[in-house]
Structure 1
């Protein structure tokens, strides 16, 4: 069953920030990074439980994270499974950021 993806505003801010940053040095790299994240998001439509659960202070919360390999590191997509039909994409972070949660 394919789920509907909803996007929270922070996701758009994050993805634009990464794209703009990469475009300054290599526009093709920016396109490839964007494509890698987009491809990962399409997987969530059919397999939303593929991401690992986020644990904060020994307590599992509803947020999950999907690792998106890219280059020597990658990105982490934070999302929540709202119900049987909907997945909300919350944010995307680069794995080398200080705090990607």
Structure 2
């Protein structure tokens, strides 16, 4: 089954905020972060269930990524990146 990667508008805003925060100290580091993240997100397409399920909902997953956690949903046709949060903000 072939899925496509979809980044929701909320996740785009989250990623832009993270990029801007990193770029304030180091634009180069921000570019490296974004590039590495894109590469790693692409790995979710062939292996969408590689991350831990959220509660008892196997469609919803959480993937630790450095200081951040990526929350995504797996459907029959898509891997939807829903939210990206700094791990310090999670309870």
Same fold by TM-score, threshold 0.5 exceeded?
yes
Report deviation, 1:12.
0.5
The aligned counterpart of 1:26 is 26
Note if 1:64 corresponds to 2:55. no
Q: Give 3-state SS (helix, strand or coil) of 2:44's partner.
A: helix
Q: Give 3-state SS (helix, strand or coil) of 1:47's partner.
A: coil
The aligned counterpart of 2:4 is 4
Where do 1:1-101 residues align within 5 Å? 1-55=1-55, 60-61=56-57, 62-69=59-66, 74-83=67-76, 85-95=77-87, 97-99=88-90
TM-score, normalising length from structure 1? Answer: 0.78
Unaligned runs of 5+ in 1: none
What's the C-alpha RMSD, in Å, of the aligned pairs? Answer: 1.6
RCO comparison, higher one (Cα < 8 Å, 6+): 2
Unaligned runs of 5+ in 2: none
Tell me the number of residue pairs that the alignment of Structure 1 and Structure 2 aligns: 90
| Preserved CA contact (<8 Å) 1:80 1:88 | yes
